[in-house]
A and B are shown apart, each in its own frame.
Chain A
Amino acid sequence: MSGHAEPETGPILASDGTPLKKRLARSLRMQKLRALALIAPLLIFVLVTFIAPIADMLFRSVENEIVSNTLPDTVAAVSDWDPKAQELPSEPVYQALYFDLFLAAEAKEHTKLGTRLNYEQVGISSLFRTSGRKLDDIGKVYEKWLIGLNPAWKSGEFWNELMRGAASAAPDTDLLAEQRARLTALTDDPMQQDIGFVPGSEIARILPLTAREYTANALFIAIDKNRDISKRGPWEAVYTALAVDLGDPEVQRAISGYQGPGSDELRAAAAAIDTAPPRDFTAAMIKVDKDWAKPENIQAIKIYSGKYTAGYYLNAIDMQKTLDGVSERPENQQIYMMLFGRTLFMSLLITFSCILLGYPVAWILANLPLRTSNLLMILVLLPFWTSLLVRTSAWKVMLQQQGVINDTLVWLGLLDDASRLIMINNQFGTIVAMTHILLPFMILPLYSVMQTIPPSYLRAAKSLGATNWTAFWRVYFPQSIPGIGAGSILVFILAIGYYITPEIVGGTTGTFISNRIAFHISSSLNWGLGAALGTILLAAVLALYWTYDKIVGIDNVKLGG
Chain B
Amino acid sequence: MAQLTSVSRTSPAFYVSTTAAAGGIAGLLVGTAQGNSLIGLILGAAIMAVTAYAVTHFVPQERIARWAILGAMALAGILLGGVAGLVVGTAFGWFFGWFIYWLYESRYRKKIPPYLTPGQVLWHHGFRVICGLIFFFLIAPIVVVMPLSFNAEDFFTFTPEMLRFDPAGYSLKHYKDFFTSSDWQHSLWNSLSIAPAATLLSVSFGTLAAIGLSSEHVPFRRSIMAILISPMIVPLIISAAGMFFFYSRIGLQGTYFGVVLAHAALGIPFVIITVTATLVGFDRSLTRASANMGAGPIRTFFKVQMPLILPGVISGGLFAFITSFDEVVVVLFVGSAGQKTLPWQMFTGLREQISPTILAVATILVSISILLLTTIELLRRRSERLRGMSPG
1/0 contact string of B229-267 vs chain A (CB within 8 Å): 111111111111111111101000000000001101100
Q: Which of A395-431 contact B (CB under 8 A)?
A: 395-398, 400, 402-404, 407, 411-414
A301 CB to nearest B CB, Å: 25
B247 touches A53 (CB 8 A): yes
User: Is B130's CB within 8 Å of the partner chain A?
Assistant: yes
- Chain B residues closer than 8 Å to A494, beta-carbon distance: 235
Q: Judge whether B265 and A394 touch: CB under 8 Å.
A: no
Which of A46, A383, A541, A545 lies in contact with B268, CB distance below 8 A? A46
**Known: A389-B326, A554-B229. Contact between A534 and B141, CB under 8 A?**
no
Q: Which residues of A contact B241 (CB under 8 A)?
A: 57, 517-518, 521, 530-531, 534
The reply to whether A534 and B238 form a contact with Cβ atoms under 8 Å apart is: yes
In the complex the two chains form, what is the Cα distance from A559 to B224 in whole Å?
A: 20
Q: How far is the CA of A189 from the CA of B135 in the complex (A)?
A: 60
By a CB distance below 8 angstroms, the chain B residues around A55 are: 242
Q: Is B293 an interface residue (CB 8 A)?
A: no
Question: Beyond A38-B208, A400-B156, A500-B328, is A369–B242 a contact (Cβ under 8 Å)?
Answer: no
* Chain A residue contacts of B365, Cβ below 8 A: 386-387, 390
Whether the pair A54, B359 counts as a contact (CB closer than 8 A) is no
State the Cβ distance, B235 to closest chain A Cβ, in Å: 2
- B235-A32 in contact (CB<8A): no
Given A39-B218, A388-B326, A496-B235, the answer on whether A393 and B376 have CB atoms closer than 8 Å is no
Q: Are A403 and B138 in contact (CB under 8 A)?
A: no
Q: Is the CB of A541 within 8 A of B233?
A: yes
Residues of B within 8 A of A394 (CB): 141-142, 144-145, 362
Q: Give chain B nearest CB distance to A147 CB in angstroms.
A: 46
Distance (whole angstroms) from the CB of B215 to the closest CB of chain A: 4
Question: Is there contact, CB below 8 Å, between B242 and A56?
Answer: yes
Known: A43-B224, A518-B237, A537-B238. A404 touches B157 (CB 8 A): yes
B13 within 8 A of A: no
Contact between A39 and B224 (Cβ–Cβ < 8 Å)?
yes
Residues of A within 8 A of B145 (CB): 390, 393-394, 397
Q: A397-B148, A521-B333 are in contact. Are A360 and B231 (CB under 8 A)?
A: no
A-B contact pairs, 25 of them (CB 8 A): A38-B208, A45-B265, A49-B264, A51-B227, A53-B244, A54-B239, A54-B242, A379-B139, A382-B366, A386-B142, A387-B325, A387-B326, A387-B343, A387-B366, A389-B326, A394-B145, A396-B350, A400-B157, A412-B32, A414-B32, A497-B235, A518-B240, A518-B332, A518-B333, A537-B235
- Mark interface residues in A37-67 (1 if CB within 8 Å of B CB, else 0): 1110111011101111111110010000000
| Residues of A with C-beta under 8 A to B32 | 412-414
Tell me if A34 and B215 are in contact (CB < 8 A): yes
Stretch among B48-56, B95-103, B164-172, B367-375 lining the A interface: B367-375
B180-234 contacts to A (CB < 8 Å): 201, 205-206, 208-209, 211-213, 215-219, 222, 224-234
* Shortest distance between the CB of B59 and any CB in chain A (Å): 32
Q: Does A357 contact B (CB under 8 A)?
A: yes
Cβ-based interface call for A499 (8 A): yes
Chain A residue nearest in CB terms to B117:
A468
Asked whether A561 is an interface residue with its Cβ less than 8 Å from the other chain, the reply is: yes
Contact B235 A500 (CB under 8 A): no
Complexed CA–CA distance, A48 and B284 (Å): 32
B346 interface hit (Cβ, 8 Å): yes
Q: Mark A349-381, 1 if CB is under 8 A from B, else 0.
A: 000000001001100100001000000101111
Name the interface residues of B25-60: CB closer than 8 Å to any CB of A. Answer: 29, 32-35, 37
Q: Does B86 contact A (CB under 8 A)?
A: no
How many B residues touch the partner, as a band? Answer: 35 or more
**When A and B form their complex, which 5 residue pairs have the shortest distance between CB atoms, in order from nearest?**
A497-B235, A38-B212, A53-B242, A394-B141, A42-B209
Name the CB-closest residue of A to B229.
Answer: A554
Beta-carbon contacts under 8 Å, A26-40 to B:
28, 31-32, 34-39
Decide yes or no whether A391 CB sits under 8 A from chain B: yes
A216 is an interface residue with CB less than 8 A from chain B:
no
A220 contacts partner chain B, Cβ-Cβ < 8 Å: no
Taking CB atoms, residues of chain A closer than 8 Å to B33 are 411-413
Contacts of B63 in A (CB 8 A): none
Residue of B nearest to A47 (CB): B227
Shortest distance in angstroms between A427's beta carbon and chain B's nearest beta carbon? 18
Give residues 297-352 of B contacting A (CB, 8 Å): 315, 319, 322, 325-326, 328-329, 332-333, 343, 346-347, 350-351
Q: How far is the CB of B274 from chain A (nearest CB, A)?
A: 7
Known: A50-B243, A499-B236, A504-B351. 17 other contacts (CB 8 A): A34-B212, A38-B208, A45-B201, A46-B231, A51-B227, A53-B245, A57-B241, A360-B131, A383-B139, A386-B366, A390-B142, A397-B157, A403-B156, A413-B32, A521-B244, A522-B332, A557-B229
Q: Is A538 in the interface zone, CB < 8 Å from B?
A: yes
Q: Which residues of A contact B135 (CB under 8 A)?
A: 361, 376, 379
- Indicate whether A436 reaches chain B with its CB closer than 8 angstroms: yes
Determine if B141 and A51 form an interchain contact, defined as CB atoms under 8 angstroms apart. no
Q: Per DSSP, are chain A's interface residues mostly helix, strand or loop, or mixed?
A: helix
A393 and B358 contacting across the interface, CB-CB below 8 Å: yes
Q: Is the CB of A51 within 8 A of B369?
A: no
Residues on the B chain within 8 Å of A514, using CB: 235, 237
Closest approach, in angstroms, between the C-beta of A473 and any C-beta of chain B? 14
Give the nearest-CB partner of B270 in chain A. A559
Whether, in the assembled complex, A304 has its beta carbon less than 8 Å from a beta carbon of chain B, the answer is no
Minimal Cβ-Cβ distance residue in B for A558: B273
- Interface: A439 (CB within 8 A): yes
Q: How far is the CA of A559 from the CA of B380 in the complex (A)?
A: 12
Residues of chain A within 8 A of B37, CB atoms compared:
413
Whether a CB of chain B sits under 8 angstroms from the CB of A131 is no
Which residues of chain A from 8 to 37 have any CB-CB distance to chain B below 8 Å in the complex? 28, 31-32, 34-37
Chain B 3-39 residues near chain A, CB threshold 8 A: 29, 32-35, 37
Min Cβ gap B376→A in Å is: 7
Decide: B237 and A382 in contact? CB cutoff 8 A: no
The interface residues of chain A lying within 8 Å CB-to-CB of B262 are: 49
Contacting pair A369 B120 (CB below 8 A): no
In the bound complex, do residue A439 and residue B156 qualify as a contact, i.e. CB atoms below 8 Å apart? no
Q: Are A360 and B134 in contact (CB under 8 A)?
A: yes
Q: How far is the CA of A39 from the CA of B275 in the complex (A)?
A: 13
Q: How far is the CB of A191 from chain B (nearest CB, A)?
A: 19
Q: CA–CA, A541 to B233, complex, Å?
A: 8
Once the chains are docked, how many angstroms separate the CA of A534 from the CA of B240? Answer: 10
Q: Indicate whether A541 sits within 8 Å of B234 (C-beta atoms), given known contacts A397-B148, A500-B347.
A: yes
Residue in B138, B211, B362 whose CB lies within 8 Å of A380: B138
Q: Once the chains bind, are A497 and B238 in contact (CB under 8 Å)?
A: yes
Is B265 within 8 A of A49, CB to CB? yes
Residue pair B328, A389 in contact (C-beta under 8 Å): yes
Known: A534-B241, A561-B376. A396 touches B156 (CB 8 A): yes
CB within 8 Å for A53 and B141 given contacts A504-B350, A538-B235, A545-B233: no
Contacts of B247 in A (CB 8 A): 53
CA of A395 to CA of B144, assembled, Å: 10
The yes or no answer to A210 lying at the interface (CB within 8 A) is no
B265–A407 touching, CB < 8 Å:
no
Given A39-B209, A60-B245, A537-B235, also A397-B156 (CB < 8 A)? yes
B245 touches A35 (CB 8 A): no
Residue B127 at the chain A interface, CB threshold 8 Å: yes
Contacts of A360 in B (CB 8 A): 127, 130-131, 134
> CB distance B157 to A402 under 8 Å?
yes
- Report the minimum CB–CB distance from B114 to chain A (whole Å): 14
B36 to chain A, nearest CB (A): 9
Query: Across the two chains, which residue of chain B brings its CB closest to A408?
Result: B158
Is A46 a contact of B141 with CB atoms below 8 Å? no
Query: Taking the nearest CB of chain A, how far is it from the CB of B142, in angstroms?
Result: 6
| Chain B proximity of A313: nearest CB distance (Å) | 15
Chain B CB within 10 Å — which of A36, A45, A440, A503 has the most? A45
Q: Quick check: B156 and A38 within 8 Å, CB to CB?
A: no
The one of A47, A53, A364 in contact with B243, judged by C-beta atoms closer than 8 angstroms, is: A53
Q: Among B131, B229, B242, B329, which residue has its beta carbon within 8 angstroms of that of A500? A: B329
For A54, the chain B residues whose CB sits under 8 A away are 234, 238-239, 242
